[in-house]
Amino acid sequence: MEVFAEYLAQIDNPQHRERMEEVLGWVTKKFTELKPKIAWNQPMFTDHDTYIIGFSVSKQHMAVAPEIAGINHFSDAIVQAGYDHTKQLLRIRWDHPVDYSLLEQMIEFNIMDKADCTTFWRK
């Protein structure tokens, strides 16, 4: 996870840094075919140069961005997991557990849905 080292070092709150490191490490180990990278100052994962999922931190939560299609597809599951969302991202409050099963489903959905995608973002 060397690619994320500088990003993680900039997270002031040690608990937030540890949580983000845990999530990024989980994605890296679970989805070895994805390429970890930093773009727009945020950690993300790509597959054949197309965006799959990205993450960011704020004071109150970790944001997970699976694109609009991912949010739309998993909207009910996101709410059932106790998270709120916008059109572009879901928010996992720092005091809530990470639903790794949901995260796995969102990543798998994007990998399959974007298998033939030739652009970074969906059109």
Which pLDDT tens digit goes with each residue over 28-86? Answer: 999 999 999 999 999 999 999 999 999 999 999 999 999 999 999 999 999 999 999 99
Domain ranges, residue 101: 2-113
Instruction: Look at residue 109 and tell me whether its pLDDT is greater than 90.
Output: yes
The answer to whether 88 and 75 have CB atoms below 8 angstroms apart is no
Q: Please report where in the chains the tokens 């974007």 appear, as a residue.
A: 114
Check residue 123 and give its pLDDT: 85
Check residue 66 and give its pLDDT: 97
66 domain-assigned: yes
Number of domains making up the chain: 1
119 domain-assigned: no
CA distances from 2 to 12, 40, 45, 50, 67 (A): 18, 17, 14, 21, 25
CATH label of the domain that carries residue 91:
3.90.1150.200
Instruction: Look at residue 96 and tell me whether its pLDDT is greater than 90.
Output: yes
122 domain-assigned: no
